[in-house]
Amino acid sequence: MLGMFSEYAVTYLWVLGSITTVAFAIPLFVVPMFWAKNMLWHLPVERDLAVYFGRCVGAFVLVVEYFIFKAAYTGVGIGFTFEMLSVVFSLMLVVHIYGAVRGIQPITETLEIGLWLALLAINYLCYPV
């Protein structure tokens, strides 16, 4: 099953990078509290720390996006990019399952469990062999 759709590896990277840059990376980096409000988080009175953490997360997501687009455009580092994405998606799955079990996140974040699981599966299906 690993790499069953490996001929679509570059297309997958272009689509994944485009969607996640617009939906996650840029909003988290530029307007993290606006993003949080749209994701149904209850905003704290003291916002500076949340803004700081949101921008930090956004910065790291932009690094991931850089490698996605670089691999898709140049073909260099495709294996590394897929390996990195597998780790990112696995850890995001753990984070969201933990939040759901503890009941400390809005429903939008709990629903993301399906997103991270789907992305992990698609990542393995398109994994270059």
Residue 1's Cα: distance from chain center in Å?
23
If you average pLDDT over residues 50-79, what whole number do you get? 95
Residue 2 has pLDDT above 70, yes or no: yes
Q: What angle do CA 107, 64, 80 make, to 5 degrees?
A: 120
Residue pair 98/48 in contact by the 8 Å Cβ criterion:
no
If you average pLDDT over residues 64-68, what whole number do you get? 97
- Per-residue model confidence (pLDDT) at position 1: 66
If you average pLDDT over residues 96-117, what whole number do you get? 97
Q: What are the tokens at 53?
A: 């953490």
pLDDT tens for 67-96 read: 999 999 999 999 999 999 999 999 999 999
Indicate the burial class of 50 (C-beta count within 10 angstroms; 0-12, 13-18, 19 or more).
Answer: middle
Residue 24 has pLDDT above 80, yes or no: yes
Q: What angle do CA 22, 26, 31 make, to 5 degrees?
A: 120
Residue 99 and residue 9: Cα distance in Å, rounded? Answer: 31
Q: Which of 54, 63, 56 is nearest to 34 (CA)?
A: 54
What pLDDT band is residue 46 in, cutting at 50, 70 and 90?
confident
Residue 78's Cα: distance from chain center in Å?
17
